[in-house]
Structure formats: C-alpha cells, structure tokens
Amino acid sequence: MVAALNDTLLDDARIPAVRADVEALVDAEVSDKTGASGLALKGGYSAVKKLGPSIVPDAIEGLLPEFVVRLEPFWQEFGTSGEASFSEFLTARGDAVSDALLGVTDDRIEASDRGAIKKVYSTLRPSAKKHVTEALPRLGDLVQKHAA
C-alpha cells in the first residue's frame, strides 16, 4: 500500500514546495495556451495576478486539501497497478480524474448564494474540463515527485 497523499503532499515539511510547484504548474498551463481563447485566458490570469498577487497562492492553499482528497483514490489505484508513471495513469483516466478534480469547484459553486458567480462558472465549466485534462501530465509528475 502506498502512503496517503494527505500524509505526503500536505505534510508540514513538504507543503511549501508542493504549493510552489502547483503555482508553477498553473503558470505553465496558462502560458502554454494558444489561439484566441488562450490569449483571453492569459489576459485574465495576468489581470488577476496583478490585481491581487496573493489570489492564486491563496486559492491553491484553500483548495489543495480538497484536491488531494479527490486524487487519493487514483493514487491508491496507481499504487497497486504496477504502472510506473502517475502522469500516464491520470492521463489514461482523463475524464474521470478531471471530473473528480472539478468536483471541488463544482461543490463550492453549488454552495454559493451568489447567482452571478454561478452563472459565470456555468459558462466556463465546459472549457475548464478541457484545461484540467490537458494539465494531468504535469499534475501526475508533480504528485509523484512529492509523494513517492
């Protein structure tokens, strides 16, 4: 049995490095986006970071424990699969992993009483799944680096 992600990724000694790597992952994923939608995403992300430099790190800090919970079943299955790469493992299960991770933000939005935020989220949610799925190779590498 592999160690629980909660015990590794969220360990007090590792959490600063994990958070920094998650932020670098988000930065890299946004940077890699192309086309008109990529340009819009880059512009929005840049504006958010300028508006409040702590917004992205604070969001990572607040959401990371819930994302770890959602990744745990995949990590445990990976540990018994005999596969060598968590990145490849996640990518092969892209739809299920993306839905599990987006379940964190889905739950947050569902619990919100702000109609405008719910409306904006509902328009962004379909493209969010595509972006999360595209990020799975980097995410798998990050998790394996810190949890192995």
Q: Give residue-wise pLDDT tens across range 26-45.
A: 999 999 999 988 888 888 88
pLDDT over 90 at 2, yes or no: no
Using left for φ > 0, alpha for ψ between -120 and 50, and beta otherwise, residue 83 falls in beta
pLDDT recorded at residue 62: 94
Query: What integer is the mean pLDDT of 67-80?
Result: 97
- Contacts with 132 (C-beta within 8 Å, 6 or more apart), sequence order: 97, 98, 101, 102
Cβ proximity of 89 and 83 under 8 Å: yes
pLDDT recorded at residue 68: 97
Range of the domain at 71: 5-147
Q: CA 33, CA 40: separation in Å to the nearest integer?
A: 9
pLDDT recorded at residue 92: 98
Report the mean per-residue pLDDT for the chain.
93
Which two tokens mark 148? 């192995």
pLDDT recorded at residue 121: 85
- Contacts with 70 (C-beta within 8 Å, 6 or more apart), sequence order: 100, 101, 103, 104
Cβ proximity of 5 and 75 under 8 Å: yes
pLDDT over 80 at 55, yes or no: yes
Q: How many domains is the chain built from?
A: 1
Q: CA 75, CA 70: separation in Å to the nearest integer?
A: 10
pLDDT in tens, 77-136: 999 999 999 999 999 999 999 999 999 999 999 998 988 888 888 888 888 899 999 999
Cβ proximity of 87 and 137 under 8 Å: yes
For residues 74, 139, 34, 120, the Cα torsion angle rounded to the nearest 10 degrees is 60
pLDDT recorded at residue 138: 98
Phi, psi of 83 (to 5 degrees): -75, 150
